[in-house]
Each structure stands twice: as C-alpha cells, then as structure tokens.
Structure 1
C-alpha cells in the first residue's frame, strides 16, 4: 500500500470502466474493450451534454449505487437499472482539443474539478484523499465492505494499461476480489 505525500487515494468502485468523449453535441461512452455504450447509460450521456464544456475526454467508473451508497455490480450487470447508472470521473485526458495525458495527475484533477464544478446528476468527480492516510483509508474501506482503493502518484502523466504509479488495493473479502476481469 503506497503512502506518503506524493500519493492520492480513491475508493475503488465495483463497476465498468468508461471513457466519456464529448465533441460538441456528440457524446460517446467507450468501454475498455472499445464497445460503444453511449445509449446504454443515458444519465451519463445526458450529463455530458449538459456540461458547459463542449470538448473533453474523461476517464471514470460507471457505477450503480445500491444500499448504503455502495456500488452494486450485480444490479449494474443485470441491465435492469441502466438509466440509474452514474459516472465517478477520476481523470481527464483531453480538454478543448488539448491532450492532457502528459500533465501530472494533480493538474489533471484540477482541470476535471473545474469542468465538473457545476454538479450535474449523472457525472460526479470521484473524491480522493492525499498522502499518509492511504493505509488507514484502505482499512476502513474494507471494514465498510467496499471493493478497495486505487492509489495514484500525483506527479505522473496518464497512461493506459498497468503501471507502477496506479496501484489497486483490493479488499480480499469483497466479491470482486475473485471475479476475473480484464485489466485496463
């Protein structure tokens, strides 16, 4: 479990990873395997269209919130609640035609918070904590029955795929711990 001033820690939600692209009046939601789910999650697509910013690419987790505000993967997977699915946005890749991937994470998060400052139901900034709190936050996430944490180095650029500066810390008691999933 990474800790220290250079690390940011986010709750690991049990959902589907999505890339949200908006270019004017066109919104696309892409899975990690490249499937277009733009029509599957209307609340996310509509929220992207209601955003004041006309061009952006956001990385996040599509989540169905269940009891006590915890993600409900079985409900999400059932497709019975697609209209209730929300995006927890944790990164921004492009903004107004500028590629932001080389910027440090903390600057990308500042840009993300700026464009999502006017809260619109359907897309939310994923909350995070900084620094030494990582191990304690992980312990409490496990006690609450959450999937775990993702710890990210604050000064690193964006990179798809596995890397040493994005570390998943999964709760071994959570059902997702044993679920086979492809890694982004």
Structure 2
C-alpha cells in the first residue's frame, strides 16, 4: 500500500507544478518515506509498518488536464502484503491472515485523478486488496513541494475480509483501519 500511496503523493506534487497541458513525469519515492496501517481492537491499538522499499509500479506518470483536475495514467503502488511488520510474530501472523496474504500476496493502490482543493489535494484512488477493488477519495496534505502526507480510512469488510476474533470472541479487531502515508518524492519532468 505504501507504493500506491507514494504514487498518489507524487502525483499531487506534480499537479502543483504542472501547467494545463499533457505531461510525463519521472517520479521516484525517497528512502525516508513510510507507509503504515493502524488499527484497534477492544483491547489495544496496533500499527504495522511497511518494511520494503516503497516503489511505484511505473516511474513514468502521465498527467492529463481535465477541467479543474488532472487525470493520472500509470500511477500505481504495488505492495507486498507480507512485508508489513506489526512488532511481533503472533500479531504479524494475524495481520497476514486478515489480509489473506497467502492467497492474495499484493495490495495495489492506483491514482486515477487529483484535484487541487484549497491548500490540499483530493485524489480519486482505487484500492485493490484480497481480490476486491474499492474506490475512495483521499485528502492529501502537502507541507512542501516534495513531501506528501495523508490517511485513508477503509472498512476491511469492503474487501470481503473479516475482523478476527481471539480468545473465544473476547478480543475483536475493529473493521476500520487507517492507511497512513508520509512520502518524500523526487520529481523530474
């Protein structure tokens, strides 16, 4: 998911500099970028960090003007579901079970369009988890020209996933998770 989020952030940065004509940009996600998934249960909260290098599926992104927004082509993060570390062997196993990582080893996030909105951007994204795809609108903050941050709240049941129950139902993970990204980009036109 980090890669997808990184792509989205890269596109947002590009929109800030793009004129109203077609452009192809080369986008690279810097090493200090992070993606994490946060969740809660009725007992405690957890955070799982993406441990691989965050990369775009294709580093050449196409921007096409479309009234007050930009249509995005070839902007996709392709994340390995097993590469999230939640801080312990048991919770890592449970998290991978929730994502059905054996059957669906990748999480894809694709940016379809971005729209400037006051001091932020709104991105229309497509998230693909466990064989299901869902569209979301994501608000992205841009503290400077190459740094993008945001949170995407998703309901795991939208992807056909179930919240696990442990200890005969005494511990239950909430259905809503927060995909958090903090991306630093290198953009060349």
- Judge same fold: TM > 0.5, yes or no: no
Which is greater in Rg? 2
Q: Which has the higher helix share?
A: 1
Length-normalised TM-score, structure 2: 0.28
Q: Given the two structures, how large is their TM-score scaled by the length of structure 1?
A: 0.29
More strand by share: 2
